[in-house]
């Protein structure tokens, strides 16, 4: 199987010696939204709906809900986008000051969208109200070194995976990279704020992924270098590595209590220092169009962990004797990508592409 452009640009940490196919049917890729604990008020004009979607993207489902409820699209809320070629479960909210008939709403929706639970609440569901997602993924037609698959999964349990932004962030065939450069250089103009935001994210994600690539190639993906900034697991808090003794820091890193971070580039100085800052600056300097654009749009420096630790990771071979199908189950925090896990196990080709 020939590596795709994304895989060629951003190397895996593991030795990948097997390949398979995902999404041969929608049942093969299932995503369940993990929301923070919710205490519904039981009253109010916002109807929260737990929805099962089949082969349906989130934006289209939101438009269908708006139409079925007779409201405008800005009265529908959801926490995040989900894969289209999959079965997915997630919350939506619809502002309904008058309509209370759930059965009528369901009857007006296409078969691909099924309401499984409904709750009244006094608040709209906002973007980002999300802990993460649970994935159940079936990989079929597996060929190659299947023992390497088991080895890689065992390694992920102990060490996690590089927290790359996935290929979805960069568009089909990474086309958003060229568009971002054209936008920042003035060769491409648009008034679409969503498109501008997407291309801004592409630029920051590209620099971030290049930093991970450098650290993998220089064997310090899981090793602290001078000037590193550490992030607390499950938190946005961070601290400079030199504030902790090397022995304590190494132990916390191994336990998964802290993670090395990398820059999400912005107009202000990078938060790292010494060797890390020099390296991160060199990654940004390699793409001058990005630096100019991020300054123009006033993006602020931030940090993101370079390691992703899937939780509740399990796997099974439904027919152990031939091992042609593998079922993976794991939880990921919001903002991370299932592709970051899959690509460290084997090369997974999307049946729909």
Q: Tell me the H-state helices in 102-192.
A: 102-108, 146-159, 175-185
Spell out the residues 6+ positions from residue 34 whose beta carbon is closer than 8 angstroms to its own: 130, 131, 132, 133, 134, 331
**Residue 56 structure tokens:** 């349906």
Spell out the residues 6+ positions from residue 297 whose beta carbon is closer than 8 angstroms to its own: 196, 200
Say whether 83 is catalytic.
yes
Catalytic residue among 83, 145, 228, 350: 83
- What does residue 342 show for φ and ψ, rounded to 5 degrees? -55, -45
Nearest Cα residue to 347 out of 83, 6, 11, 21: 21
CA separation, residue 207 to residues 164, 202, 203, 280, 298 (Å): 11, 9, 7, 8, 16
Active-site positions read: 83
């Amino acid at each position: 199987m020939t590596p795709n452009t994304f895989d060629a640009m951003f190397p895996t940490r593991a030795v990948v010696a097997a390949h398979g196919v995902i999404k041969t049917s929608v049942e093969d890729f299932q995503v369940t939204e993990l929301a923070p604990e919710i205490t519904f008020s039981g009253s109010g004009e916002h109807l929260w709906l737990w929805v099962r979607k089949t082969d349906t993207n989130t934006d289209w489902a939101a438009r269908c809900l708006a139409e079925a409820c007779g409201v405008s699209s800005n009265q529908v809320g959801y926490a995040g986008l989900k894969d289209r070629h999959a079965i997915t479960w997630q919350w939506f909210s619809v502002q309904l000051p008058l309509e209370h008939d759930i059965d009528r709403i369901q009857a007006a929706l296409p078969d691909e969208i099924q309401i499984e639970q409904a709750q009244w609440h006094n608040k709209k569901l906002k973007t980002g109200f999300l802990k993460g997602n649970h994935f159940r993924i079936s990989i079929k037609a597996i060929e190659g070194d299947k023992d390497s698959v088991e080895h890689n999964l065992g390694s992920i349990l102990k060490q996690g995976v590089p927290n790359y932004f996935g290929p979805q962030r960069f568009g089909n065939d990474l086309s958003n990279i060229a568009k971002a450069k054209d936008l920042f250089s003035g060769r491409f103009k648009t008034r679409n704020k969503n498109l501008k935001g997407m291309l801004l994210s592409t630029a920051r994600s590209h620099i971030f992924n290049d930093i991970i690539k450098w650290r993998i190639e220089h064997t310090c993906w899981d090793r602290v270098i001078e000037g590193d900034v550490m992030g607390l697991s499950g938190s946005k808090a961070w601290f400079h590595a030199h504030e902790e003794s090397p022995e304590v820091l190494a132990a916390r890193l191994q336990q998964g209590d802290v993670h090395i971070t990398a820059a999400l580039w912005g107009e202000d100085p990078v938060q790292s220092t010494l060797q890390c800052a020099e390296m991160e600056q060199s990654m940004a300097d390699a793409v001058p169009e990005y630096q100019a654009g991020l300054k123009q749009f006033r993006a602020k420096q931030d940090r993101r962990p370079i390691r992703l630790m899937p939780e509740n990771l399990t796997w099974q071979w439904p027919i152990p004797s031939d091992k042609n199908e593998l079922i993976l189950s794991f939880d990921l925090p919001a903002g991370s990508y299932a592709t970051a896990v899959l690509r460290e196990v084997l090369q997974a080709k999307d049946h729909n592409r």
